């Protein structure tokens, strides 16, 4: 059975896509801890990080780094959380490897806040624009 992330990657479910590479897919979390909270997942459906073949793990980390730079630029911060929950006891809710890139600000509390109507598309466009700037890659 496919995970929700595999269904998003295949286009069966909508998302605000940030980046797609040969091996990775990045999109905005619809229940973000902050505007710009982006998920970066490998296209191959593997539940645990240590089970990723090494070339795919390396590619994933490079893509996470590119997305983190773009999220910081687009969201106007130099602070972010990078997290990976590996296994249900660690808080992994979807059994598909995924990194969270969450922009952070001084004094901000960590609470999920939905996007206002139309805001998710604006945030997505800002991050994609930042990704397109060759000086930020």
All structural domains of the chain, each given as residue ranges with its CATH number in brackets, are 4-136 (3.30.428.10)
Structure tokens given for 111: 């609470």
CA distance 111 to 108: 9
Q: For residue 101, how many other CB atoms are within 10 A of its CB?
A: 25
pLDDT at 133: 56
The dihedral over CA atoms of 24, 29, 35, 38, expressed in degrees to the nearest 10, equals -20
Conformational region of residue 88, where left means phi above 0, alpha means psi within -120 to 50, and beta covers everything else: alpha
Annotation marks residue 31 as catalytic: no
DSSP state of 103: E
Average pLDDT of the residues in 16-41: 97
77-131 pLDDT, tens digit per residue, is 999 999 999 999 999 999 999 999 999 998 887 778 889 999 999 999 999 999 9
Structure tokens given for 85: 């929950």
CA distance 100 to 26: 10
pLDDT at 31: 93
Residue 134 has pLDDT above 50, yes or no: no
pLDDT at 113: 86
Distance of CA 101 to the CA centre of its chain: 6
pTM of the model: 0.92
Catalytic residue chosen out of the listed positions 23, 37, 96, 98: 98
Choose among 31, 53, 28, 29: nearest CA to 42: 53
31-60 pLDDT, tens digit per residue, is 999 999 999 999 999 999 999 999 999 999
Structure tokens given for 75: 């969201």
């Amino acid at each position: 059975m496919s995970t929700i992330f595999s269904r998003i990657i295949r286009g069966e479910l909508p998302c605000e896509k940030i980046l797609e590479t040969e091996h990775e897919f990045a999109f905005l979390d619809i229940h973000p801890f902050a505007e710009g909270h982006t998920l970066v997942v490998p296209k191959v459906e593997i539940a645990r990080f240590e089970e990723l073949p090494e070339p795919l793990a390396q590619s994933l980390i490079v893509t996470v780094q590119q997305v983190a730079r773009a999220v910081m630029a687009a969201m106007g911060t130099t602070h972010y959380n990078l997290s990976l929950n590996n296994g249900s006891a660690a808080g992994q809710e979807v059994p598909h490897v995924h990194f969270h890139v969450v922009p952070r600000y001084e004094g901000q509390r960590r609470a999920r806040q939905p996007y206002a109507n139309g805001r998710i598309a604006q945030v997505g466009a800002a991050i994609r624009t930042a990704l397109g700037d060759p000086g930020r890659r």
